Amino acid sequence: MQKRHAIVVGANGLIGKELTQCLIDNELYEKITLVSRRYFDVEHPKVILEVIDYRELHKHWELFTCDDLFYTLGTTIKNAGKKDAFFKVEYDYCVNIAKIAHHNKVKQFLLVSSKGANPKSLFFYTATKGKIEENLIQIGYPTLHIFRPSVLLGQREEFRFLEKLSQGFLKMFNFMMIGFLKNIKGMPSKNLARAMVIQAEKSEKGIHIYSNRKIHEMLKNG
């Protein structure tokens, strides 16, 4: 099987770190480029770290060339400061990178979106996620994977109060969430990373959207 090159955008985040380890452990990937806003320690012969300013993507056009691009970059309105800044990080950076990568003939784009993503949502966060998905579909990737997890379980570097509150609740009651409740069941970051790599390996053409429940079932069946 032909070896692959993967790019992880947002590599120093909760999902990005787990993805990096999954890709390092996977023999299919011989090169892993980590894209981040800041430097962090990472040492492995497969791995290359690229620190960039996302506001100057035009300077990094050739960087986004690979087989599989995993997009995990995200923020919160609180961290961004205001809705306009949040939209720029969440929407502009993602869509612009996706367009550049598509121009560079990237075969697969894998996005961490969110449960409830819908461009017509009454909530700004899920509406933004929905608009991102809508635009990625229009770009026309041969293979597009969209993952819509519920609350992510894991240790972030920055403190997110509401997410921390939800994590505490879900850690206590996750085992009870079966059937339709799987769609709100907490998603361990390590599990989401595994699911993304599993689907990337398959290289199935088309648009694939995975609900929180489907991700849980995928890993259980796998």
Identity of residue 38: R
Q: What are phi and psi of 102, to 5 degrees?
A: -65, -40
Q: Which residues are catalytic?
A: 125, 129
Dihedral of the alpha carbons of 120, 83, 90, 130, in degrees to the nearest 10: 0
Strand 108-112 and strand 152-153: the pairing is unpaired
Residue among 115, 114, 100, 25 at smallest CA distance from 69: 100
Under 8 Å CB-to-CB from 60, ≥6 apart: which residues? 50, 52
Strand 29-36 and strand 143-148: the pairing is unpaired
Q: Can you say whether residue 204 is alpha, beta or left, with left for phi > 0 and alpha for psi between -120 and 50 degrees? A: beta
Radius of gyration, CA atoms only, the chain:
17
